[in-house]
Amino acid sequence: MNLTSGSDGNITYIESEEAKILVDLGLSCRETEQRLKLIGVNPKEISCILVTHEHSDHIKGIDAFSSKYDTPVFAHHEVWYGLDEKLKKVSAMNRKMFDGDKFGFRDLIIHAVKVPHDVPCYAYSIEKNEKKVSILTDLGHTNERILESIRGSNIVYLEANYDEKMLREGKNYPLAIKKRIAGLNGHLSNVESARAILYLVRNGTKQIVLSHMSKENNTPDLAFDFITNILSQYGIIEGENVKIDVATTNIGTIFKIL
């Protein structure tokens, strides 16, 4: 489930019989504790934190949380290069570096998928008993390799960061930032998100959660309406062929599949 999503912080909570995992921890330790308690989870029970990349909206609370609760922090070795100086309170024992694209953790198989961003960045697919949840945020574009790696996911948390018109016409960002966001290593637009969803639904995905939405360049209603309209043009009807939710800064829907 989504604990928060967007420009100001990102946390996704995944639970199985043997593991309770956070994918990123982009709020303060205190705020994260409060949100976990609201869903009935003791922060001491968190088994590990999976880090996608080094940006502050994904790692803000990791140092304090890991040091307080002795929580292991997993990241690909490419990502750890950017984390070393930012996560100084994470003990040596809890700095879990992995290579490759798959490893086991308790009763789960965790697939790491490299995605294009302006720093080393990895998405995650978390699998058990042929059921899979995938989290893909902070990527400038998708491609066949990325989409194939998450094909067949039961649930996908997928970036729908910006509306192209809002980004183009907005007054708050300089041109250089706009180019970065819209670039191949920036963020995913509503258009690109819809294209990815079309592929995913055709390959069995029944639940999408639009995620990492810009508060400056998108809105939940705009993203939902735009994307569902595109899907309908291809005969895919929201509520019939796929369910689409929108992740916000509030705690989101609980999905049970693992």
Q: 193 and 124 in contact (C-beta within 8 Å)?
A: no
In the CATH hierarchy, which top-level class contains the domain 2-246? alpha beta
Which pLDDT belongs to residue 246?
97
Which pLDDT belongs to residue 258?
54
Each of the 258 residues of the chain gets a pLDDT tens digit; together they read 999 999 899 999 999 999 999 999 999 999 999 999 999 999 999 999 999 999 999 999 999 999 999 999 999 999 999 999 999 999 999 999 999 999 999 999 999 999 999 999 999 999 999 999 999 999 999 999 999 999 999 999 999 999 999 999 999 999 999 999 999 999 999 999 999 999 999 999 999 999 999 999 999 999 999 999 999 999 999 999 999 999 999 999 888 775
What DSSP assignment string belongs to 111-161? Answer: EEEE---SS--EEEEEEETTEEEEEE-S-S---HHHHHHHTT-SEEEEE--
Residue 129: left if φ>0, alpha if ψ -120 to 50, beta else—which one? left
Q: 252 and 209 in contact (C-beta within 8 Å)?
A: yes
Q: Where are the beta strands (DSSP E) in 196-236?
A: 207-211
Confidence (pTM) = 0.96
Please give the Cα distance from 201 to 8 (Å, whole number): 29
